[in-house]
Structure 1
Amino acid sequence: MSINGAMNAAMSGLRAAARGTELVSNNISNALTQSYGRRELALSSMNYSANGGVRIDGTTRHVNEGVLADRRFADAAHQNVQTAVSFFRTLEDVTGIAGDPEGLSGRLASFEESLITAASRPDASERLTDTVVDAQRLIDGLARASSDVQAIRTRADGQIAQEVVTLNTALQQIEQLNKQIITTQARGGSTSGLADQRQAVLDTIGAIVPINVVPRDNSTIAIYTEGGAVLLDISAANIGFERQNTVTAYQTLDGGTLSGLTLNGQDLRMSALAGGSLGGQFAVRDTYGVQAQTQLDALARDLVERFADPAVDATRGAGDPGLFTDAGASFDPLDEVGLSTRLALNAAVDPTAGGEVWRLRDGLGATTPGPAGDSTLLNAMRDTLDTMRIPASGDFGTGSQSMSDLFSSFSGMLSSTRAGAERDLTFNAARLTEWTDLQLSQGVDTDQELQNLLVLEQAYAANARVIQAADAMLETLTRL
């Protein structure tokens, strides 16, 4: 080998060592970056006559696609369950747990206790007033719970709209990155950085909707949902959704009063985008929220019907409402939806509406006060709360229950559902952690990278020594 050839070979070695050192540095600094793929320098030998050297063929990006896909599915499942847990925790805070005086069961117990206290001294107007106040507190509790359920559904509807925007933006970004990767490859450039960006965007999409990523020609990809919907194949699909400013108890997806999703203008089956945070928000708006409203309305209906029984108060006329009314009127069984929001105290006993509290003792239809010591009606009201009857609606089973049994059943079912969702969340969080750790462990190994750095330093020193030796020989020759 000539001196010139040796110097050229050593210079190529220096370039390769410098480039390799740069990649090691990037690998180590991005060891905990989830979307980063470990880089490795691709080298080959050059043999030109008696000369040699090292050719840099490019950079290879290493990613375990199988682990990455499983980690995305775990992330989607975690986001989905997290949304459900947040809903049930919020609802439980609103409706209260057993023993909470401000919860629904606590307010019912206070009303029942007030009836007992008033029956012991029916002549004491302050006790009658307290009973009216506690009845109104029970009404307010149901109304607030119903209002909060609809507020949660409204927020879920708004979150769906935001996630659809994020999803559409991300799909367009993937389409553009696919094009940039094709262009960069055609120019002979490295696409590792673009692949990292694409993986980060895919992680965003995967948290919203569970996806399958399919490789295509020229290092591009296509994206399909688990349900089979095509989100991107050459061109990005457009997801459509119409947001509602306010969601009410009367609005449902099945009823056609709330928006579903469209894919390129065509209605999209909800099962096609099941899972992920988007599916979780739809579950809150269209399943969990609707079920909670149905249960609250069933509680309100049972309360209204118990006190509307003619056997409780014979002073009322036929068809007149009882102590608890549907916005002041009698309850229509065909109009149960939203009853918990419309529930109101009978104006005949409500001082704020011009009523008199003595009618709680003497009858809603009484025109003049009766015997001050007569507790018959108060006892009848107290007894009707304990009467065992089969609920006319709601998911409370087919057995006979008292009013307190119904409220306890509602709280118990809510607590049980919340606990089950939290167990699922714990499982999915652990699964996500395991897949994330596995992905990172199969990514950059900092110990191995440091070993590679030592090898590169040795290679750099060896090539530098060759250049020094060649320089010394040239200097010797020029002095001859």
Structure 2
Amino acid sequence: MSDLLSIGYTGLRAYSKALSTVGDNIANAQTPGYARRRLDLGEVPSGTNMVLYRGNTSPGGVDIKGVVRSVDQWLINDARISSGDSERASAKLEWMNRVEGALSDDTNGLKTALTKLYTTADQLTADPSNPTLRAQFLQAASDIAAGFQTAASRLSSLSEGVSGAATAEVTQFNTNLDALEQINVGLRKARDGSTNQAALMDERDRLLDQLSSQAGVSATFDAHGAVTLRATGSGDLLVGGGVVTPIGMTTAADGRVSYTIGGSPFPNATGSLAGFAEASNHIADQRAGLDTMATQFAAQINTAHQAGVDANGNAGQPLFSGTSAATLTATSLTANQVAAANATGTNGNMLAFGAMRGVNDPEAKWSGHLATQAQATAAASAQNAAAMTRADGAAAARDSVSEVNLDNEAAELLRFQQAYSAAARIIQVSRETMQTLLSSL
């Protein structure tokens, strides 16, 4: 009877824990980072059996070996790699779209102002002494200077914005490193197969997911599940052996973002931090290109205007001053100071203006610049779409193993309920048999 009672008792204990585990799965079905758990059950070995000798049949019941998380490490690693690529593409695309907006005509009116300058010059060829057209010509020049200044200001703000976003991301990355080390401390103390260990591993994996989405990292695990984390590119230790090495960030004068670890460069080609760095490089290139275009435009237009003669017979003055897009300023001139004439006639210089219009004029160059930016943004959008598709597929494959399926849990709940009832019935039968035996004495 003692064997029968023992079998019933171990069954009640095991199936009670199994029901609790199923209930935990159901309760955490929507909890981010939670991996489905199951109870690992095994037969209690008989004390009368040995390797080379088997005695009488003596069932021992069921034993709880521990809580097991439903995970596939290969799928987890694949999901983290694809997530890092997706976050890099997404972070870059966001700022590429903002750059395109900063350069658009709706924002700065530069394309419209350039067209207006040449259109007014064409109109002045027919009526060079018209004061209204002369004033419109000067206004177009002023609008161009304002457009360059607006574009420069917007790009400068974007440069500061991406630097701020990268700084916040670095802070969060370092916070996650500290939290991961605390999880390591807990895992080294946790009992194998315990619910506490499973919860710590869930949090460990959630932190590793976040870190992988931020930068390229690689993880290895010891027998307790504690993680050693290194930078993928350089192999530098980030977390391990009680050591946490935070990363740093620097912003160059032109806004380019770079990262360091232990005072050395932190090479990183994936994650949101890589996306911010690439975006900062693109914005810096756009700012430099805008300055070059502004100075070249000013030099070209100033040379053309100074080649003419104004209404008072004086040589034409520069239309612009400044050494960058941000400092480009229209010269304060009166309508009579527009140099419409030259040695060939009263409209000769405006005719020369019209002849400038073509493949290499500022208007065409600016349109080409906008087209190049649009192409770069479209390419970034395509990369982002591909990376997202890849990440979604990897996440779905991972979830197929780790995600809680309520239908399956309901079936498990019914199965363990029946098993629990059966174990209780075993104890009842044991009790009734014992009473029958005792009453017969």
Instruction: Provide the C-alpha distance between the structure 1 equivalents of 2:316 and 2:137, rounded to a whole number of angstroms.
Output: 21
Deviation at 1:438, TM superposition (A): 0.7
**What letter corresponds to residue 291 of structure 2 in structure 1?**
D
Q: How does 1:77-476 map to 2 (within 5 A)?
A: 77-96=85-104, 103-185=109-191, 190-228=196-234, 229-234=236-241, 235-241=243-249, 251=254, 260-264=258-262, 266-269=263-266, 272-285=267-280, 287-309=281-303, 312-314=306-308, 322-326=318-322, 339-347=324-332, 349=333, 356-361=334-339, 374-384=346-356, 386=357, 401-444=360-403, 446=405, 447-476=407-436
Contact 2:305 2:317 in 1 (8 A): no
Count residues with an aligned counterpart: 421
The structure-2 alpha-carbon separation of the partners of 1:196 and 1:77, relative to structure 1 and needing over 3 Å to count, comes to same
Contact 1:295 1:410 in 2 (8 A): no
Q: How does 1:62-77 map to 2 (within 5 A)?
A: 62-77=70-85
SS at match of 2:233: coil
Between 1:441-450 and 1:410-419, the stretch displaced more is 441-450
Question: How high is the sequence identity, in percent, across the aligned residues?
Answer: 20
Contact 1:361 1:374 in 2 (8 A): no
Between 1:231-240 and 1:470-479, the stretch displaced more is 470-479
Instruction: Provide the C-alpha distance between the structure 1 equivalents of 2:193 and 2:70, rounded to a whole number of angstroms.
Output: 22
**TM-score of the pair, normalised by structure 2:** 0.86
Gaps of 5+ in 1: 254-258, 332-338, 350-355, 367-372, 389-400
Deviation at 1:454, TM superposition (A): 3.0
SS at match of 2:60: strand
The structure-2 alpha-carbon separation of the partners of 1:252 and 1:86, relative to structure 1 and needing over 3 Å to count, comes to closer
Contact 1:94 1:103 in 2 (8 A): no
The structure-2 alpha-carbon separation of the partners of 1:274 and 1:10, relative to structure 1 and needing over 3 Å to count, comes to same
Instruction: Provide the C-alpha distance between the structure 2 equivalents of 1:430 and 1:251, rounded to a whole number of angstroms.
Output: 34
Q: 1:150-179, CA deviations, whole angstroms, 9 ceiling, x for partnerless residues?
A: 111111111121111111111111111011
Deviation at 1:74, TM superposition (A): 1.2
Instruction: Provide the C-alpha distance between the structure 2 equivalents of 1:196 and 1:251, rounded to a whole number of angstroms.
Output: 42
Deviation at 1:233, TM superposition (A): 2.2
Deviation at 1:321, TM superposition (A): 6.6
**TM-score of the pair, normalised by structure 1:** 0.80
Give the aligned partner of residue 256 of structure 1.
none
Q: Tell me whether 1:53 sits opposite 2:56 in the alignment.
A: no
Give the aligned partner of residue 52 of structure 2.
none
Q: 1:270-328, CA deviations, whole angstroms, 9 ceiling, x for partnerless residues?
A: xx22221111112222x101111122122212211212326852559xx99721221xx
Deviation at 1:79, TM superposition (A): 1.3
**What letter corresponds to residue 33 of structure 2 in structure 1?**
S
**What letter corresponds to residue 17 of structure 1 in structure 2?**
Y
Instruction: Provide the C-alpha distance between the structure 2 equivalents of 1:113 and 1:274, rounded to a whole number of angstroms.
Output: 48
Deviation at 1:436, TM superposition (A): 0.9
SS at match of 1:218: coil
Gaps of 5+ in 2: 49-57
Instruction: Provide the C-alpha distance between the structure 2 equivalents of 1:312 and 1:15, rounded to a whole number of angstroms.
Output: 97
Instruction: Provide the C-alpha distance between the structure 1 equivalents of 2:87 and 2:145, rounded to a whole number of angstroms.
Output: 35
Contact 1:45 1:55 in 2 (8 A): yes
**What letter corresponds to residue 302 of structure 1 in structure 2?**
Q
Instruction: Provide the C-alpha distance between the structure 2 equivalents of 1:124 and 1:179, rounded to a whole number of angstroms.
Output: 83
Instruction: Provide the C-alpha distance between the structure 2 equivalents of 1:291 and 1:310, rounded to a whole number of angstroms.
Output: 28
